[in-house]
Amino acid sequence: MRIIIFCLIAFRALSGGLAEAKESFLEVIVADPYLEMHSGPAIGYPVLHVVERGKKIKILLRKTDWFKIRTEKNKEGWVYLNELKQTLTLDGQPIKLRDVTIEGFRKRSWDVGLMGGDFEGAASMTVFGTYYIAPTLSAEISATQAIGNFSSSILGNVRLAAHPFPEWRISPFFALGAGYIKTSPDATLVATVDRDDPIAHVSFGANMYVTKRFIFRVEYNNYKVFTSRNDNEEVEEWKAGFAIFF
């Protein structure tokens, strides 16, 4: 019985806490002459309400660079980041809102992305994740699938890259890496077995800051496949894609 009562109390406390948390929105004061409240989170949506300077508003949530707000009169609408930057906290301090610019690109700590390209005649797709140890040095892990007419390969690679000019909008890089390649011939065509080989590569390319969290990336890779046969294979790969940084 006690346990049940305890559970009930705990549940009440928890649900009460949740309800409270739901209502504890950030409250700010409008500092601009007025704020335009759109009906949706994009520039094309019509402005349905306006809040004047000095009024209190609650920030309910954020979608990309748009904030859903609620006025004291319980009107809701979406305000763009740049307009909201002028608002003040209840203490009269300017509000701090996260805005992603090229500065963020220069100081990014990691990014994830996708590239597509040509792997010695086969179509290749790569997903990668990069961690920036310093603005000029990064460590990366990637997985590539190359789909050819007669076989398909899966590659896993790790690499270290140097970014000599991290402050440039188009920032070049050079990389050295190693990994593994697994090649499986198409079952219907060629009757050979799967091959697993170690692989190493040198690479150069560039990252270009596009907008917000978006990076465009182009790169060239030269792979050396250490086969169990007498000759090592050399494979060239070109690819381009995008990344999102955080």
Partner 1 sequence: MESRLCHLFLKGTFKTLLGLSIIFVSNIHAAVPLEKKAEQIILPELERREIKQAEIDTEDFEIGFFAGAMSIEDFGVNGSAGLRFAYHVTEDIFTEITIGGSKAGETSFEVLGGGVNLLTDDERLLSYYNISVGYNLFAGESFFAKRAFNSDLYLIAGIGNTQFAEEDHFTINVGVGYRFIPKDWFAIHVDFRDHIFNSDILGADKQTHNLEINAGITFFF
For the CB of residue 107, give the shortest distance to partner 1 in the complex, in Å.
Answer: 16
Q: Count residues binding partner 1 (CB under 8 A).
A: 46
75-114 footprint of partner 1 as x/- string (CB under 8 A): --------------xxx-x-xxxx---------------x
62 vs 75, which CB is nearer to partner 1?
A: 62
* DSSP conformational letter for 36: E
Q: Is 108 exposed, middle or buried (0-12, 13-18, 19+ CB in 10 A)?
A: buried
* Residues 186-225 interacting with partner 1 (rule: CB under 8 A): 186-188, 211-214
**Which residue stretch of 33-41, 101-109, 164-172, 201-209 sits at the interface with partner 1 (rule: CB under 8 A)?**
33-41
Residue 198: which of 162, 158, 161, 236 has the closest Cα?
Answer: 158
* Beta carbon nearer to partner 1, 25 or 220: 25
If binding is defined by CB under 8 A, does position 145 make contact with partner 1? Answer: yes
**Residue 74 binds partner 1, judged by CB under 8 A:** no
CB 201 within 8 A of CB 231: no
Distance CA 28, CA 55 (A): 8
SS (H, E, C) 106-170: HCCCEEEEEEEEEECCEEEEEEEEEEEEECCEEEEEEEEEEECCCEEEEEEEEEEEECCCCCCCE
Residue 32: helix, strand or coil by DSSP?
Answer: coil
44 touches partner 1 (CB under 8 A): yes
Contact positions toward partner 1, by CB under 8 A?
Answer: 25-26, 39-45, 59-68, 89-91, 93, 95-98, 114, 116, 122-123, 125, 127, 145, 147, 149, 152, 186-188, 211-214, 242, 244
